Amino acid sequence: MYRFKNLLRSYFSFSKKELNGIFVLFSLMLLILIIPYLYPLFVKDEKYDFESFRIEAERFRALATKREREQKKGGSDQELSLVKPVYFEFDPNGLSDQRWLQLGLSVKQIRVIRNYELKGGRFFKKEDLRRIYSISPEQYKLLEPFVRISNATSLKDSKNFKANYKPEDIPFRNIAPIIELNSADSIELESIHGIGPAFASRIIRFRKRLGGFYRKEQLLEVYGMDSVKYDQLKDLIKVNAGLITKINLNTFTFDEIRRHPYLTYKQMNAIIQYRSQHGSFKSIDELMKIAILNEEIIRKIEPYIVLSP
């Protein structure tokens, strides 16, 4: 019996140091077990305003329905032809605006053709007319039997045409409305060639996070936008920087700025901590004193900053 007690004591007796280690180990295990229950008390999940989304979706559907109804009624949409088509044999190279209108093309379609010609484009065979994206396959089928390409058309003619054609010669070039990025809704954005519903939605979401665009080149920061697509639409948009929602550097809270794409959470917190320690900012250049901010970041956020007590 005595030997048995000694055996138990040799296995289950601990020094003070070992007991401290066991206590720390059990404390860590207990903490790991209760963390999932404590987490929701300190970290609140982001709440989404589904009601606002529903209202916006209903508005989108209503506008789309209205637009479709106007087109069916022969409304004033630029995409619609201005006159009832009258078909005749024609050479698309150098055809006058009035003759294109007679063939049933709209003002916007004629402008696209003129832009094509301005870049040196020529029609060497009737199928080349298909390359004009604004002419639908159905419309091309109606025009195709009447297309007659002159034998005089050549690559040399094309080069001479590009050299002699001037931008001011483009008809109707100012008729299409220029879309203002900070006030446009999804319907207006989708009216720009190359922007569909998904891309329009991404532009609006990015604009909301920014507080608005102060220059059109910021579109290149929208996911999916590349330089080729931007070059195609840059002349169809403009920016009114006066519509930007600005942030008061001396009063903003973390919640008011946390979604801004130009600042990380650490940088936002550093600005707030600096303001708490040193008082209100007198100039935006004071941000240079914050170690994790640099000149590039400060100049990017400068258009969105306002200083007031």
Q: Is the pLDDT of residue 164 over 80?
A: no
Structure tokens at 150: 């002159």
d(CA 81, CA 35): 67
Q: Could you tell me the pLDDT band of residue 68, with boundaries at 50, 70 and 90?
A: low
Radius of gyration of the chain (CA): 33
What average pLDDT does the segment 172-183 reach? 69
What pLDDT score was predicted for residue 4?
Answer: 56
Average pLDDT of the chain? Answer: 78
Model pLDDT for residues 230-254, shown as the tens digit of each residue: 888 888 899 999 999 999 999 999 8
- Please give the share of the chain, as a percent, with pLDDT higher than 70: 72
Positive or negative CA dihedral for 102, 104, 109, 115?
Answer: negative
More confident residue, 282 or 194: 282
d(CA 94, CA 117): 9
What pLDDT score was predicted for residue 70?
Answer: 54
Q: Is the pLDDT of residue 93 over 50?
A: yes
d(CA 251, CA 309): 8
- Please give the share of the chain, as a percent, with pLDDT higher than 90: 29
Model pLDDT for residues 120-132, shown as the tens digit of each residue: 788 888 888 887 8
* Bridge partners of residue 152, in order along the sequence: none
Q: What residues have CB less than 8 Å from 166, skipping those under 6 apart?
A: none
Token look-up 């900070």 returns 182
What pLDDT score was predicted for residue 173?
Answer: 42
Q: Could you tell me the pLDDT band of residue 303, with boundaries at 50, 70 and 90?
A: very high
What pLDDT score was predicted for residue 77?
Answer: 40
Q: Could you tell me the pLDDT band of residue 171, with boundaries at 50, 70 and 90?
A: very low
| pTM of the entire predicted model | 0.46
Which of 174-178, 193-197, 244-248 is the least confident region?
Answer: 174-178
Which of 30-34, 36-40, 174-178 is the least confident region?
Answer: 174-178
More confident residue, 9 or 308: 308
d(CA 61, CA 57): 6
- Write the DSSP symbol of residue 304: G
What average pLDDT does the segment 301-305 reach? 92
Closest by Cα among 221, 223, 237, 202 to 300: 221
d(CA 174, CA 67): 22
Q: Is the pLDDT of residue 8 over 60?
A: no
Q: Could you tell me the pLDDT band of residue 67, with boundaries at 50, 70 and 90?
A: low
Model pLDDT for residues 34-50, shown as the tens digit of each residue: 877 776 666 655 555 55
Q: Please state the separation of Cα 234 from the chain's center in Å.
A: 13
